[in-house]
Amino acid sequence: MTTVLDVQRYKEEGHRFAMLTAYDYLSAKILDEAGIPVLLVGDSLGMVMLGYATTLPVTVDEMIHHAKAVARGAKQALLIGDMPFMSYHSSVEQAITSAGRFLQEAGMHAVKVEGGGRIVEITSRLTSLGIPVMGHLGLTPQFVHQMGGFKVQGKSERQAARILADAKELEQAGAFSLVLEGVPADLATRITKSVRIPTIGIGAGPGTDGQVLVLHDMLGLTTGKPPKFVKRYANLAEEITQAAGQYMKEVGDGSFPGPEHSYGNGSPAPALRAAAPTDEVKYGAGS
Ligand code: KIV
């Protein structure tokens, strides 16, 4: 199983690594079996899975519900639970309670928190309690209203210096890794060289130790023009539309279900049994 020590070793060995979001049992199982070493149950699930306009409405209960499903699907990956807005904002005690739920109830191995400043103390307390923390700097979506939208951060020298200082403070506080989101590539490279812990970029150029993408973006499941940093490795929305249309057509013209998808009265001959689709009625075939 991948641990926080492994991702540290990846950096030391110059082995770049991939992280993806996972929000449910099935995708977690597929990604885990594909060998993705780190899975993030991101609060982006609020926008991707629940249809919210931002991540702000997401609750701890919603996160735990999805995180539990991911933990049932993944056996090897390091699992990170994203602490949602207002789950660590009122006090260090509240942060401990929320983070504890991710490890104790949901089976996560670590949590992620956004921002610097006050988050440094929270990071220090959580790590001292055995709860590994992934930091998140740059474009931090929970600050969307303060940033005036989802905008690239760290373009000015002053902002860049602040982000670099936050990165060093989070490292000092015990964070085991840092997500750098929506920052200029040269700033991400500078931070990566300035800290010993691994950095994981999204919209941060090629100079980080690891990369993360939202699964549904890279699979082409989210529609519309993707952000510049997204590379689509598949076009599943198009495939689903095509498959749904074909299914509708075949149901309409009566060609589905055909005899090969229908049950008869008798058992198939033994020789056919192994190859034939099973007579067992089970949803989620093959899972
Ligand atoms: O919520 C999320 O998916 C994230 C990643 C994009 C880093 O925070």
Name, in order, each residue with C-beta under 8 angstroms of 32's C-beta and a sequence gap of 6 or more.
39, 73, 74, 75, 76, 77
Q: pLDDT for 240-277, tens place per residue?
A: 999 999 999 999 999 999 999 999 987 555 445 555 56
Catalytic residue numbers, as ranges:
181
208 lines ligand 1 (CB under 6 A): no
Instruction: Name the nearest CA neighbour of 176 among 136, 139, 211.
Output: 136
Residue 201 burial (CB < 10 Å; 0-12/13-18/19+)?
buried
If one counts every other C-beta atom within 10 angstroms of the C-beta of residue 166, the result is 20
pLDDT at 267: 57
Q: Which of 38, 179, 218, 222 to mutate to test the pocket of ligand 1 (most atoms within 8 A of CB)?
A: 179
Q: pLDDT for 17-31, tens place per residue?
A: 999 999 999 999 999
198 in helix, strand or coil? Answer: coil
Which atom of ligand 1 sits closest to the CA of residue 55? 1
39 lines ligand 1 (CB under 6 A): no
Residue 54 burial (CB < 10 Å; 0-12/13-18/19+)?
middle
225 in helix, strand or coil? Answer: coil
Query: Beta partners for 82?
Result: 112
In this prediction, residues 91-98 reach a mean pLDDT of: 98
CA of 183 to the centre of ligand 1 (A): 14
140 lines ligand 1 (CB under 6 A): no
Please tell me the pTM assigned to this model: 0.94
44 lines ligand 1 (CB under 6 A): yes
